Structure 1
Amino acid sequence: MLRRSLLLVLLAACAPAAPPPAAAPPAQAHDHAAHDHTGAAPEQLGSVAFPVSCSAEAQQRFGRAVAMLHSFWFEEAEKAFSGVAEVDPKCAMAHWGRALTLMGNLFAGPPPEANLKAALAAAERAEALAGSASARERGYIAGALALTRDQERLSHAERMQRHEAALRALRETAPDDMEATIFYARAVIGNAPPSDLTFARQKEAAAILQPLFREHPNHPGLAHYLIHGFDSPQLAEYGLEAARAYAEIAPSAPHALHMPSHIFTRLGYWDESIETNRRSANAEPVPDAAVHPLDYMVYAYLQQGRDRAAGEVVERVVQLPDRFYGGVIGYNFVAMPARFTLERGRWEEASRLTMPTGAAPFVTAVAHFARAIGAARSGQPALAREEVAALAALENTLEEQKNSYWTTIVGAQRLAATAWLARAEGRDEEALRVARAAAELEETIEKHPVTPGPLLPARELLGDLLLELNRPAEARQAYEKSLEREPNRARSLFGAARAAELAGDLESARTRYAELAQLMAPSDGDRAELRVAREFLARR
């Protein structure tokens, strides 16, 4: 009851002045569960009602296609919307659906260029057929055009702002259309600045979506976008209801099976994250190519010390081209082996990580950061210096591209690596100054949804440095602050315990060591920190 009361207070504080539109759209909700007799599981996508002025058969297919779109099952959604156009060539909204599908995951950034052009063509085809569409449908098409037109003149962020404005206008003119409200809230979350750590826009969207979710608990979009809205350490607890529901609402959609782990990761619920990401990967045509859920799974395994299980995933994962995400998920493919070395403190191994080829700058930075930290912490300052220089060049490239988010992330990585290079060269005070700057910079923005978390949090690395320099009280503060953003992280728990022990606070050390021992109870590796924790607990 307390958690629900807090949620109501949170949402009320950010609720819009006008009440949300009526929850039920004009048509009866349709449950997309198609049964067959082949032994395959029935298709389950949740319930979506989206009336359109198309043929009866097109209408039946359209709701299923929108359900797929809400769950980011883009490959199948594109086929489904194309099928709508085949049975009713005059159905403008079929092409609206294709346009939004081709734009992909709006929370992750723009899609590949080929999809951008195809999305514009689909939106303009919808506009050409809109003469027989309703005014409401023309409002949806205007939203798609706002998102896809002027690609040479306007950035993705600027077009997203236009998209939100168009959907706001649609919502105002069609207040009883629940789908208009849902797509508007999705745009609000997509436009939330990563530097706004009050999460005002996410709260605004949640205030719209949460009452609708209570009335329509089987709607895939409501559950999905609530998870995105609450995907931050401060708000994650409020997303648990949606997270625990979503995988059962639309288990046929691989992304719906993955999304709960965004909340589980924020809360340090590693068993739940592993299980839902395993289901997600297994639902993909090529499970070993499901690099996004597998990266989240590897991250969770490593927190539990299940190094053998994590290593098996890293060994078998493959990277295949992705039409809808392009190079973004290249991040996950490169991050997995980097995490596998860094989380286990295998510094020399990290310094030898293979560099990706043809990757985006922020993806290439993953490997350079891991190599820089590994080299600096394994007695290879010359190599570390080269890697820091490479990070600086990538940071400049991102700044020239006006990619402020990844410029900040790579800048923090460069500073953290520079700090450990300074430590390797005996410049300890400089190392501390730069390490603090890295932590402060990294904490000015929220993480990108592509990643479960930083490779190694800059604040945690500051704690490592302070511990090495025999400043345990300050180290403990750094680790504890890191745990506020990244709860139940094994390295930060160990650091906090060890720092408390060295500072003479044995009771706090016992508490943190006990938490670490419980966290790593399923460990299948040979982590030194687990041995230290067990030895400490056995002595007292």
Structure 2
Amino acid sequence: MKWILAYWIALSVVVLAQEKAKELTVTETFDVKGVIAEPVRKLAKPAMLPQAGEPQLLIFSSSLEAQEHVRQGFAMIHASWDFEAYRHFTTAVQVDPQCLMAYVGIVLSLTSPQHEFHEQRAKAYNRMLTLAEFKADGEFYYPESERMYAVAIAELVANGLGNSLRVLKQLANNYPNDLQAQLLVTYLSRGGYNALGNPRVTQRQAIARFKDLVKQNPEDPMALNFLIMAQAEAPYGAVDFKNELLPLALKLTQMSEGKVATWKSLLGFIAWRSGDAELAEKSFREAIALFQQWQEANKLGIADNPGLVRAQLFLATVLHAQGKTKVAAELVASILKVKIVSGREYSAGALTLKWCGQLMPFKMHLEQGKLLSAKDSLPKPATTNRRDMDPYSAILLAYKLYANAINAVEKSDVITARKYHTKLALILSDMQKMQAQVSQSYEFPYFLPVLSALVVLHKELTAHISEEDGLAYNWYQASIEAQSSESRLLPPEILFPIEYRMGLYQKKVGKKNQAKESFQKALKRRPLYLKAQIELDSLNQ
């Protein structure tokens, strides 16, 4: 009965929209093709994926087809599949160029300031505001709820989260039955975790609210997805991944019949953090298969399929941590054979391949202690001149300096190690200064995590060099504290927990009990890191 009621309500909206469409006269001419990027314009209409669920939104449009594509677009956004969401929204505006919520969706799916399709976002943004402000006979033409969504997204793009959140809170207050609004407000209001890894008050409140919404909407995958996402990137120890989040992630994939690729990847991520190697590997492989099927069915390239690259690299991470390095290396090699179509170098897929894929061999060799192989695996930088250095070249030089320094330490050549250490500090300083400039580029979301990882490695390098000075413990501790929490969207930049390196040092200096504690902490951070388990077992014998 629920779907019948929803259908008749949607149909009544169509009739009302058809009647009011006669009143709509926007003086400016608008070419809807301007909001559709060329790579998307040539594609067929996207298929519906009902297993992803749909927010029960009343979309003001004279077309039932446009309404369905808008709802599906929002479902894809909540499932972290922005490209597919964008396709649905652009399909909706082609069917109904006057559909306000379709433009809201386009802007939301292209929110990142550095997005490849920023020109299309700008045109959609202007069109969205034009429609939201339009009046007929002195009254606003579009429903208040849609206008509030438009204002909230406009504020998010123009003025940041704070102003946007105020509008969304008012929207949620005015329309308590709008589940999407309730979820967005709760998600954006969450406070995260403090420096000690404990949830802040607003984070606890958000989780409690999500649980209430899930209880009220037990068959809605969107609500369950938000509950999982709000905790998926929590610091280790803050959430019981195995007993709390993993059952939820399993339920989400069951509700979606295992057909949503991004949710399969999410399950793999949660299983990885839970220490379930078999489930993590299985889930990532299934996600890869789904992404590949989707890519082939839609005749797309890797430029528009970053989810595939991420799933493959996460799978390689799982395999490598378990000692299946040969299989992981073969997988990474196959990823790097993929070519990017000319003109799509700043697509999400191309940037993920460049910043995550091309650096993966280095990270794998580094974790194994194969320093020469690590250096040889690095791509050739565009320049080695510090004055002219671009962000990617700076990253490559920094990694090379780190590898050289560690190599010198292992050869007991502390003087040479200190020279490389100093050079690395200078490059890191340059990169810190680059941040403001890079923040305006396509590469910023990828540059920042690598920079953070290099800061951790620099501190860890300082610990290596300081072992003879008795200061190693403090520097290892500093590098441990500098580690970031895991990202569900980007594979880890460092393939070993620093706690493991601390444990090796403590074992070396005869502090057996402290070493045990460090290896245990390493396993809490990375439950699948086999080397830490082997060291712990050896100390327990």
TM-score (norm 2): 0.73
1:172-251 alignment to 2 at 5 Å? Answer: 172-189=173-190, 192=192, 195=195, 197-200=197-200, 201-231=202-232, 232=234, 233=236, 234-235=238-239, 236=241, 237-250=243-256, 251=258
2:436 aligned with 1:396: no
Which among 56, 68, 89 is matched to residue 60 of structure 1?
Answer: 68
| Alignment-mate amino acid for residue 246 of structure 1 | L
CA spacing shift, 1:223–1:28, aligned 2, 3 Å: farther
Q: Distance in 2 between matches of 1:418 and 1:216?
A: 52
Please state how far the C-alpha of 1:99 moved relative to its aligned partner. 0.6
Please state how far the C-alpha of 1:145 moved relative to its aligned partner. 0.5
Q: Distance in 1 between matches of 2:224 and 2:380?
A: 35
Which among 422, 428, 431 is matched to residue 472 of structure 2?
Answer: 431
Which among 351, 354, 370 is matched to residue 346 of structure 1?
Answer: 370
2:52 aligned with 1:46: yes
2:129 — aligned with what?
127
Q: Distance in 2 between matches of 1:170 and 1:364?
A: 47
Aligned length, in residue pairs: 448
Q: Secondary structure of the equivalent of 1:230?
A: helix
CA spacing shift, 1:265–1:163, aligned 2, 3 Å: farther
Q: Distance in 1 between matches of 2:94 and 2:324?
A: 49
1:487 — aligned with what?
527
CA spacing shift, 1:283–1:343, aligned 2, 3 Å: same
Contact 1:375/1:383 (<8 A) preserved: no
CA spacing shift, 1:214–1:306, aligned 2, 3 Å: farther
Q: Distance in 1 between matches of 2:210 and 2:393?
A: 35
CA spacing shift, 1:100–1:345, aligned 2, 3 Å: same
Q: Distance in 1 between matches of 2:220 and 2:465?
A: 51
Contact 1:347/1:373 (<8 A) preserved: no
| Alignment-mate amino acid for residue 290 of structure 2 | A
Please state how far the C-alpha of 1:128 moved relative to its aligned partner. 0.9
Please state how far the C-alpha of 1:238 moved relative to its aligned partner. 2.0
| Alignment-mate amino acid for residue 180 of structure 1 | A
1:165 — aligned with what?
166
Contact 2:459/2:478 (<8 A) preserved: yes
| Alignment-mate amino acid for residue 146 of structure 1 | E
CA spacing shift, 1:412–1:343, aligned 2, 3 Å: closer
Q: Distance in 2 between matches of 1:279 and 1:374?
A: 38
Please state how far the C-alpha of 1:322 moved relative to its aligned partner. 5.7
Q: Distance in 2 between matches of 1:134 and 1:461?
A: 59
Q: Distance in 1 between matches of 2:276 and 2:365?
A: 22
TM-score (norm 1): 0.73
Q: Distance in 1 between matches of 2:188 and 2:393?
A: 26
2:309 aligned with 1:291: yes
Q: Distance in 2 between matches of 1:216 and 1:361?
A: 49
CA spacing shift, 1:65–1:42, aligned 2, 3 Å: closer
Q: Distance in 2 between matches of 1:29 and 1:324?
A: 39
2:154 — aligned with what?
145
Contact 1:71/1:220 (<8 A) preserved: no
Q: For residues 272-311 of structure 1, what are the alpha-carbon distances to aligned partners after superposition, in whole Å with 9 as ceiling and x for unaligned? A: 1111111222223268973211221112112322222212
Please state how far the C-alpha of 1:486 moved relative to its aligned partner. 2.4
Q: For residues 435-464 of structure 1, what are the alpha-carbon distances to aligned partners after superposition, in whole Å with 9 as ceiling and x for unaligned? A: 23222333xx53344234743222221112
Q: Distance in 2 between matches of 1:71 and 1:245?
A: 15
Please state how far the C-alpha of 1:340 moved relative to its aligned partner. 2.2
2:408 aligned with 1:371: no
Answer with 456-465 or 466-475: which moved more. Answer: 466-475
Which among 242, 260, 264 is matched to residue 257 of structure 1?
Answer: 264
Q: Distance in 2 between matches of 1:257 and 1:100?
A: 23
Q: For residues 494-534 of structure 1, what are the alpha-carbon distances to aligned partners after superposition, in whole Å with 9 as ceiling and x for unaligned? A: 22233x2xxxxxxxx14xxxxxxxxxxxxxxxxxxxxxxxx
CA spacing shift, 1:197–1:247, aligned 2, 3 Å: same
Q: Secondary structure of the equivalent of 1:487?
A: coil
1:336 — aligned with what?
360
Q: Secondary structure of the equivalent of 2:59?
A: coil
| Alignment-mate amino acid for residue 340 of structure 1 | M
Answer with 255-264 or 228-237: which moved more. Answer: 228-237
CA spacing shift, 1:27–1:411, aligned 2, 3 Å: same
Q: Distance in 2 between matches of 1:387 and 1:328?
A: 29
| Alignment-mate amino acid for residue 481 of structure 2 | E
1:434-473 alignment to 2 at 5 Å? Answer: 434-442=475-483, 445-449=484-488, 450-452=490-492, 454-473=494-513
Which among 112, 135, 138 is matched to residue 114 of structure 2?
Answer: 112
CA spacing shift, 1:161–1:396, aligned 2, 3 Å: farther
Instruction: State the identity as a percent.
Output: 19
Answer with 483-492 or 258-267: which moved more. Answer: 483-492
Computed over aligned residues only, the root mean square deviation of the Cα atoms, in angstroms, reads 3.5
